[in-house]
Every structure is written in C-alpha cells, then in structure tokens.
Amino acid sequence: MVKMLYDRDSTERHVEAAKRFIRLCKRMGGTEELVAGIEPALAGLESKRAEAAGKAEERMYASDALVLADTQLDNAVRTAFERCQQFDRSSAAAPVLPGIFPGESFGDLVRTPVLEEPDAVRELVVRLESLDEQHELYAVAAELRRVADASVQAASD
C-alpha cells in the first residue's frame, strides 16, 4: 500500500520508504531512472543520519564527562570540609572551619548549579589560601583549584 511521506516524519521512516521504493523498482523493468534519481538522495540522508548519531553520541560523552567532573568537585569540597573539621578537632588553635566554610556547611556549595560551582569553589580556594603557607590545610586549596579547573574544562568540551 502506498503511503505519503511528510516532512515531519522521522528520518528512519524516510530511509525505510526510500529503500523499499528502490527494492520494488529493481524488481520491475524500466525503472532504472527512478532508482538512479533516488539513490543519491538516500545516500545523502543516510550520511546525515550517521552524522547526527555521531553528534548525539558526542553530546552524551560530554554530558557524562561534565557529570563526573561535577561529582569529583563535590567530593573535593566534602573532603576539604572534613579536613577542616579534623584540623579543628585535633588543634588547640583557633577553629578554621567557620572562616573557610561560612555557616559551617558545604551543602549550599555542592548544590550550586554545575556551571556556577567552579567559581564558588574558587572563592573557597581564596579563603584556604588566606591561611599561612605553612598551614597544613593550605595544600587543600591546590587540589580544589585543580578539580575546579577540570570541571570548567569538562563544561567547555
């Protein structure tokens, strides 16, 4: 049965209809011109379909990389928070947690939107770097900066 194709029909439907048309035409005599006319269009459509599938796969990979980078950034923030807590428990010096994590919580930071979180973490890095270079928590800033930069890179890829 003959069915009309519409622009809104899927690429898959257009490809299958064209292939069916070619198969049926090849079984009949005198249809070589019809087949020769549709084969280039079919090849172009299949090429574009393969290109679109490749782009969709690239988008999926980029999304996966961004989700992973965000998870690593969240975990680095949690680790920094825990390190500050451990330092405060084991040190007789003034507590550092309130100065590094205002509100003494990291929840708002890890719930920050993915694309804004690296900037928020860089503010945390600045607070950590305000400690003396000899301070044992000073090195945490470098790790946070590295993971924030990786998150920015994942977002731009």
DSSP for 105-117? Answer: --HHHHTS-TTTH
Residue 85's region, left for phi above 0, alpha for psi from -120 to 50, else beta, is: alpha
CA distance 110 to 108: 6
Contact 83, 96 (CB under 8 A): no
By the 10 Å C-beta count (0-12 exposed, 13-18 middle, 19+ buried), 27 is classed as exposed
User: Tens-of-pLDDT digits for all 157 residues of the chain?
Assistant: 677 889 999 999 999 999 999 999 999 888 999 999 999 999 999 999 999 999 999 999 999 999 999 999 999 999 999 999 999 999 888 899 999 999 999 999 999 999 999 999 999 999 999 998 999 999 999 999 999 999 999 999 8
The amino acid at residue 34 is L
**Neighbouring residues of 154: CB distance < 8 A, sequence distance ≥ 6:** 62, 65, 66, 68, 69, 70
From the list 4, 17, 74, the residue with the least C-alpha distance to 45 is 17
Q: Is the pTM of this model over 0.85?
A: no
Tokens 């977002």 — which residue? 155
